[in-house]
Amino acid sequence: MLHLLQPIWMTLATGIAVPVFIHLWHRRPGKVLRISSVQLLAASSVRHARSWRLSDWWLLLLRCLLIILLALLLSQPVWRQPLTARTVKGWVVTEQAAYPAFRHQIDSLLQHGFQLHATDTAFSRLRRPEELTPDTSTTSYWQLLQALSQKVPADLPVYLFTGNRLARFSGPMPAVALTLHWQTMTPVDSVVNWNDYTYLLDNDSLRIRKGRSSPSGTVFSYYDTLRGNNDTTTLHCTIYTDKYPEDARYLEAALKAVQQYTHRKISLLLVRQVTAVPASQDWLWWLSDSPWPAGVNAGRTIRYATGKPQSVSGTIGNTNIQLFRRLPVNDTTGATWLDSYSNPLLTRDSLYTHFDPTWNELPWSGEFPEKLLELMFPATWAKQYDRRSIDARQLVLPMHAAAVKPAVLPQQETSLEKTIWIILFITFCAERYLSSKTAVKSE
**For residue range 354-398, what is the model confidence (pLDDT) as tens digits?**
999 999 999 999 999 999 988 888 765 556 788 889 888 787 655
Q: Which residue has better confidence, 328 or 41?
A: 328
pLDDT band of 107, cuts 50, 70, 90 = very high
Residue ranges of the domains in the chain?
A: 84-189+390-409, 235-376
Dist CA 325 CA 346 (whole Å):
14
Partner residues linked to 301 by β-bridges: 284
Residue 149 has a pLDDT of: 85
Task: For the chain, state the CA radius of gyration.
Answer: 37
Residue 368 has a pLDDT of: 94
Least confident of 26-35, 55-64, 108-117, 217-226: 26-35
Nearest to 417 by CA among 425, 406, 428: 425
Contacts with 303 (C-beta within 8 Å, 6 or more apart), sequence order = 285, 286, 287, 288, 292, 349, 350, 351
Least confident of 11-20, 30-39, 136-145, 283-292: 30-39
Backbone phi, psi, residue 63, to 5°: -70, -40
Q: Which residue has better confidence, 89 or 84?
A: 89
Backbone phi, psi, residue 17, to 5°: -65, -25
Partner residues linked to 223 by β-bridges: 208
10 Å CB burial of residue 316 (0-12, 13-18, 19+) is: buried
DSSP label of 1: -
Residue 404 has a pLDDT of: 45
- pLDDT greater than 80 at residue 401: no
Nearest to 225 by CA among 195, 191, 261: 195
Residue 55 has a pLDDT of: 61
pLDDT band of 67, cuts 50, 70, 90 = confident
- pLDDT greater than 90 at residue 198: no
Would the CA dihedral through 419, 420, 425, 430 be positive or negative? positive
Q: pLDDT above 90 covers what percent of the chain?
A: 33
- Cα–Cα distances in angstroms (integers) from residue 180 to residues 92, 101, 105, in the given order: 10, 19, 15
Residue 34 has a pLDDT of: 59
pLDDT tens for 117-175 read: 999 878 888 989 999 998 888 888 998 998 888 888 888 899 999 999 988 888 888 88
10 Å CB burial of residue 109 (0-12, 13-18, 19+) is: buried
Q: Which residue has better confidence, 372 or 74?
A: 372
Nearest to 131 by CA among 173, 160, 96: 96
pLDDT band of 241, cuts 50, 70, 90 = very high
Residue 102 has a pLDDT of: 95
Dist CA 23 CA 54 (whole Å):
6
Strands (DSSP E) along 14-132, which ranges? 77-82, 91-94, 115-117, 125-126
What does the pLDDT average to over 243-247? 95
CA atoms within 13 A on the CB side of 8: 1
Instruction: With residue 433 as reference, give the H or E element that holds it.
Output: helix 417-442
Contacts with 309 (C-beta within 8 Å, 6 or more apart), sequence order = 325, 326, 327, 359
Asked if residue 219 lies in contact with residue 196, where contact means CB atoms within 8 angstroms, the answer is no
- pLDDT greater than 70 at residue 46: no
- pLDDT greater than 80 at residue 53: no
Q: Residue ranges of the alpha helices (H) in 180-263?
A: 245-262
In Å, the largest CA–CA distance within the chain is 130
* Residue 365: alpha-carbon gap to chain centroid: 37
Residue 426 has a pLDDT of: 87
Residue 176 has a pLDDT of: 84
SS3 224: strand
- pLDDT greater than 60 at residue 230: no
Residue 407 has a pLDDT of: 44
Partner residues linked to 184 by β-bridges: 162
Asked if residue 116 lies in contact with residue 125, where contact means CB atoms within 8 angstroms, the answer is yes
CA atoms within 13 A on the CB side of 430: 15
10 Å CB burial of residue 268 (0-12, 13-18, 19+) is: middle
- pLDDT greater than 50 at residue 405: no
DSSP label of 222: E
**What average pLDDT does the chain have?**
82
Sheet of strand 344-346: strand arrangement: 266-271, 235-241, 280-287, 297-304, 350-351, 344-346, 337-338
Least confident of 17-31, 163-177, 296-310: 17-31
- pLDDT greater than 60 at residue 229: no
Residue 380 has a pLDDT of: 56
